[in-house]
A and B are shown apart, each in its own frame.
Chain A
């Protein structure tokens, strides 16, 4: 079945640094990649939707300059949290889907802790 590899699975960084999270679709071409954020004991909050080769579409309230999303190829999408602060600490999950399939394949998630 379709697999999305997400890494790092766990990252701790100092306040003010930038962190990049990568998601790779291993056996399918992810024409669309969704990026979600999940707070403890809550459901997933959609941050942005990115289509390969296009600029990401951000949900209301999500700062596009803080959460940089790149989807330069059909198998790789990245989320960079710039100048991270403790309030950015969260669980970030990517999800890929291929054109016409309408089926979600999730990465394993990345837990970010900002000190």
Chain B
């Protein structure tokens, strides 16, 4: 069974810093990996989708990388802003099911 782990569980940084969120998975046989953002009491917003054949995807200040062989993905956030404060989840798609990590709670301090 696929297990998805996100480290750290919580992260607090001053505004303007660059930061990296980590997602690791145990089974490298995946179709794609998706990063989401969740604000308190809200649903999930898709940030980036990386297909299994891709190494990275970029959207604005966000860059997600995928190393399938080592079972790892990272989400890089450049020049963090207070509005980036949220919980970030990664989800691994095995073709049959989506497995979610437990999330990283990010706080960007003004």
Binding site for B on A (CB under 8 A): 6, 34, 41-44, 46, 49, 91, 93, 95, 102-109, 111
Q: Which B residues are in CB contact (< 8 Å) with A102?
A: 31-32, 93, 95
Q: Which residue of B lies closest to A41 (CB)?
A: B105
Q: Which residue of A lies closest to B31 (CB)?
A: A102
A-B contact pairs, 23 of them (CB 8 A): A34-B98, A41-B105, A43-B89, A43-B103, A44-B89, A44-B100, A46-B97, A93-B44, A95-B44, A95-B98, A102-B32, A103-B34, A103-B46, A104-B34, A104-B91, A105-B46, A106-B36, A106-B44, A106-B45, A108-B42, A109-B41, A109-B42, A109-B43
- B49 at the A/B interface (Cβ < 8 Å)? yes
Instruction: Check if A6 sits within 8 Å of B43, measured CB to CB.
Output: yes
Binding site for A on B (CB under 8 A): 31-32, 34, 36, 41-46, 49, 89, 91, 93, 95, 97-98, 100-103, 105
Q: Which A residues are in CB contact (< 8 Å) with B102?
A: 42-43
Q: Which residue of A lies closest to B34 (CB)?
A: A104
Q: Which B residues are in CB contact (< 8 Å) with A91?
A: 41
Interface of A is mostly: strand
Q: Which residue of A lies closest to B9 (CB)?
A: A41
Q: Which B residues are in CB contact (< 8 Å) with A93?
A: 43-44
Q: Which B residues are in CB contact (< 8 Å) with A107?
A: 43
Q: Which residue of B lies closest to A49 (CB)?
A: B97
With contacts A44-B89, A108-B42 known, what are 18 further pairs, Cβ within 8 A? A41-B105, A43-B89, A44-B44, A44-B100, A46-B97, A46-B98, A93-B43, A95-B44, A95-B98, A102-B31, A103-B32, A103-B34, A104-B93, A104-B98, A106-B46, A109-B42, A109-B43, A111-B41
